Amino acid sequence: MKKKPLKFDKDLFKRSVQYNVKTLYRKTMEEATEQELYQASAYALKDAIVDHWMTTQKKAAEQDPKIVYYMSMEFLMGRAFGNNLINLQAYKPVKEALDELNIDLNLIEDQEPDPALGNGGLGRLAACFLDSLSTLGYVAYGCGIRYKYGMFRQKIQDGYQVEVPDTWLENGNPFELRRNEYAKEVKFGGYVNMYTDERGRTMFKQEGYQVVRAVPYDLPVVGYGNGVVNTLRIWDAEPIQCFQLDSFDKGDYQKAVEQENLASQLCEVLYPNDNHIAGKELRLKQQYFFISASVQTALQRYLKHHEDIRKFYEKNVFQLNDTHPTVAVAELMRLLMDEYYLSWDEAWDVTTKTCCYTNHTIMAEALEKWPVDLFQRLLPRIYQIVDEINRRFVDQIMRQYSGSAGIDVQAKIRSMAILYDNQVKMAHLAIVGGHSVNGVARLHTEILEKRELKDFYEMMPEKFNNKTNGITQRRFLLHANPLLADWVTEKIGDDWIVDLSQMEKLKAFADDKKAQQEFMDIKLQNKKRLAKYILKHNGIEVDPKSIFDVQVKRLHEYKRQLLNILQVIHKYNDIKTHPNKDFYPKTYIFGAKAAAGYLTAKLTIKLINAVADVVNNDPDIDGKIKVVFIEDYKVSNAELIFAAADVSEQISTASKEASGTGNMKMMLNGAITLGTLDGANVEIVNEVGEENAFIFGLTSQEVMDYERNGGYNPMDIYNSNPNVKKVLDMLVDGTFSNDRELFRPLYNCLLNTVNSNKADQYFILKDFESYLEAQKRISDAYQDKKRWAKMALLNTASCGKFSSDRTIQEYVDEVWHLDKLEM
């Protein structure tokens, strides 16, 4: 039976907007600025959401389902206004209401800053998961940090990236609710006192610590069409009130000031590193801060309606989004033992049955390790507990492996201990302290099991499982690409919105000429929309009829934006030397932020912009190729970009990209993957068929084989392949900069003869020819209009597996075992 759409009172909304403009700003509708109209509309929308929010809360209290706490340092939510309208099924009535008030909904949406509390894939995945959890009707809490400054805004000046603070809270956030009554205290530093309590129990007490107040802000997470509204709870830090006088009296003025400083620094800024650990003390403080507050909340909420804390795990599960929230293992142990008087064994039983860990990368520089002295100084009681977890685990390794023929027990300890080499290894703590370990795509999980975490897999295979990532079709098709969304609905009905496997029905239209034409017309409209954005933001005119070849993602060497731009340089040479060769025009679109301290990444941005300058302004090229670097790539412009992509560049060095999710977003929007057999690309090709993707390059096995043998020698390729030589020489011959040394570091990365085992670590030159050849196949395929339309349409039709709804349902069935809320 088809569900009735949610009710939405359009007239009430209209009145509410007018009322808000008056009471918030003391203005008439005509006087209000666009920002003020946005705020007034957002508050009106929040009113509508709050009713559902309260109903959800009430139903949850009645039904007492098992709930998941999704713990993550990052939630890259993107704009809330349009998405909430979509999920409330209120987009059309609100558009009408605003039209009647003479307000353009698009302009209103553009007033909202992107809440960018995340770096990239990991943070955006958390946001997609929350959307799916609400839509599927599971009770979930996102737990995170309310950074005052999110991911920096990127400006491009003279081709260079410049980081500008992201002041997303400047005008306030209409959707958030501050919850003073749920504030918690979090303690840092000091020392641990051991004593015997009145019942003869040995107890531990942290003393001489600094304390901050964690204050939660709740954001609604609206499910699609079902009235479910979950909560993303992000924590802010404040100094404890009244402390100053008190400690001043005690002569502890210094400490009072330090404590204030700590509170004011804690939630200042998101660390802008993706797949890389900076190892800063403040980062560890951030981790413990939001985890302690969240775990305290979870225990208290449970005990409101339950007696036996030993059964906590029956109603609660903690999913740790990478190792960043892993102190949760020790914090849960601490609270259970020190505050709720459980024995070690009882607490350990609850903890391991509650915690689960997702791994998002195998890049060595992203593996989280903390120096023992830092960890111990900052979190003395937590350290004691980690030390004991480690002692017992090492014991277990010895019991299990001592005396086994052919097994080196010391080697096992070296590779698996939580404390080793004076470091706390967070991944090991997460694996030992929980009951589930998952990778984020089939290939990635396989690499974890066979290589990265091999010893753990052998010791505890039952913990390991795969959960291939997914994305929400609500934001990335229904909201981002209304033309295509309407077309799909016209063809197969609207069930795809909550069941993406329905897209398969589109396969019936793959050879239908009319459908193909419509599909490509929509793509053209979306390309025009993006071309307008590019003209406005870059001042570059691009031809919507050219192939839009898109690589948007964080800048990282392993993602190989450098391979892409070197290929563009080659194409440039090719067109200059063969001006009459038949060539279908291409627009290469890049978007990427580089971590602020990552020099190679920043120089790659400069190179892309330098190549763009030369290519776009060379009369010989005559517009055959254009290069565009989109400034400040973020969720809101990503939505425009995905909808307009013809080619989806997913060209990471095989084995390095855990999954990728941009690949799925572009597939959903009918772009064809040009990629290596890495991460989820493997599964994409599996779904859509090899003939509907362009695959090139080394396989992950080949890459890992080379790595085991110390790499390969890129000089051989440089010396034997004139294409490669020409392109590389141009990096240092003044073509792209008067300063010939400017791009030398990139040249050296590829050819470095000083440290040859580091030369071309990411196999760019090794894959170069194969990549050129794949690019050529694309140009050929695009000229056969029917063939291309069919391929593109089949990509949209085959994306069913890649919904985060599917991923979440797998977590629920295989790991979390949540109960569905009945509404």
Q: Which residues bind ligand HBZ (CB under 6 A)?
A: 119-122, 125, 273-275, 277, 360-361, 366, 440, 469, 657-661, 679
Tell the smallest beta-carbon distance from residue 127 to ligand HBZ (Å). Answer: 11
Residue with Cβ nearer ligand HBZ (347 or 815):
815
**Sign of the torsion formed by the C-alpha atoms of 421, 424, 425 and 430:** positive
The question of whether 634 is a catalytic residue gets the answer: no
Is there a catalytic annotation at residue 559? yes
CA distance 35 to 642: 27
Residues 3 and 225 sit within 8 Å (Cβ to Cβ): yes
Catalytic hit among 285, 554, 560, 586: 554
Q: Which two tokens stand for residue 755?
A: 């440290």
Q: Which is nearer to ligand HBZ, 342 or 440 (CB)?
A: 440
What minimum distance in Å lies between the beta carbon of 275 and ligand HBZ? 5
DSSP state of 509: G
Measured between alpha carbons, how far is 570 from 354 in angstroms, rounded to an integer?
Answer: 54
Smallest gap from Cβ 119 to ligand HBZ, in A, equals 4
Distance, CA of 70 to CA of 322 (rounded, Å): 11
Q: Which of 652, 769, 654, 768 is nearest to 706 (CA)?
A: 654
Tokens of 115: 């809440």
In the complex, minimum distance from the CB of residue 689 to ligand HBZ, in angstroms, rounded to a whole number:
22
Give the angle subtended at the CA of 442 by the CAs of 447 and 412, to the nearest 5°.
Answer: 30
Nearest distance from residue 502's CB to ligand HBZ, in Å? Answer: 24
Q: Nearer to ligand HBZ by C-beta: 526 or 661?
A: 661
DSSP characters over 61-102: HHH---EEEEE-S-B----SHHHHHHHTT-HHHHHHHHHHTT
From CA 631, how far away is CA 157, in angstroms rounded? 10
- Nearest residue (CB) to ligand HBZ, 206 versus 445: 445
Q: How far is the CB of 150 from ligand HBZ (least distance, A)?
A: 13
d(CA 389, CA 432): 8
Catalytic choice (79, 428, 559, 602): 559
Is residue 115 within 8 Å of residue 151, measured between CB atoms?
A: no
Which residue is listed with tokens 């641990």? Answer: 192
Q: How far apart are CA 756 and CA 444, in angstroms?
A: 28
Which residues fall within 8 angstroms of residue 316, CB to CB, at 6 or more apart? 66, 67, 68, 69, 298, 302, 354
**Which residue of the set 323, 472, 604, 661 is catalytic?**
661
Q: Are strands 177-178 and 202-207 parallel, antiparallel or unpaired?
A: unpaired
**Distance (Å, whole) CA 527 – CA 542:** 9
Choice between 440 and 764, CB closer to ligand HBZ: 440
Q: Least distance to ligand HBZ from the beta carbon of 274, Å?
A: 4
- Is residue 554 among the annotated active site residues? yes
Q: Pairing relation of β-strands 355-358 and 436-439?
A: parallel
What is the SS3 assignment for 673?
A: strand
Residue indicated by tokens 């050296």: 748
Are the beta carbons of 698 and 676 closer than 8 angstroms?
A: yes
State the burial class of residue 20 (Cβ atoms within 10 Å of its Cβ: 0-12, 13-18, 19+): buried
Find the residue with minimal CB distance to ligand HBZ. Answer: 121
Q: Whole-number minimum distance, CB 466 to ligand HBZ, in Å?
A: 12
Catalytic residue among 665, 766, 790, 801: 665
In terms of CB distance, is 161 or 273 closer to ligand HBZ? 273
> Furthest-apart CA pair in the chain: how many Å?
93
Indicate the burial class of 761 (C-beta count within 10 angstroms; 0-12, 13-18, 19 or more).
Answer: middle
Which is it for strands 177-178 and 369-371: parallel, antiparallel or unpaired?
unpaired
Give the nearer residue to ligand HBZ in terms of CB position, either 348 or 598.
Answer: 598
Name the minimum Å distance from CB 499 to ligand HBZ. 23
DSSP helix/strand/coil, 186: strand
Using DSSP, how many helices (H) and how many strands (E) does the chain show? Answer: 33, 23
Beta carbon nearer to ligand HBZ, 579 or 597: 597
Catalytic residue among 14, 255, 369, 553: 553
The DSSP output letter for 22 is: H
Q: Which is nearer to ligand HBZ, 334 or 602 (CB)?
A: 602
Q: Which two tokens stand for residue 272?
A: 């802008």
Residue whose tokens read 């979950």:
230
- Rounded to a whole number of angstroms, the minimum distance from the CB of residue 125 to ligand HBZ is 4
CA 450 – CA 467 distance, rounded (Å): 17
Q: How far is the CB of 439 from ligand HBZ (least distance, A)?
A: 9
Candidate list 46, 315, 360, 412, residue with the active-site label: 360
What CA–CA distances, in Å, run from 690 to 121, 268, 641, 696? 25, 47, 24, 11
Among residues 29 and 374, whose Cβ is nearest to ligand HBZ? 374
Other beta carbons less than 10 A from residue 135's beta carbon: 26
Of 659 and 803, which has the nearer Cβ to ligand HBZ?
659
Catalytic residues: 360, 553-554, 559, 661, 665
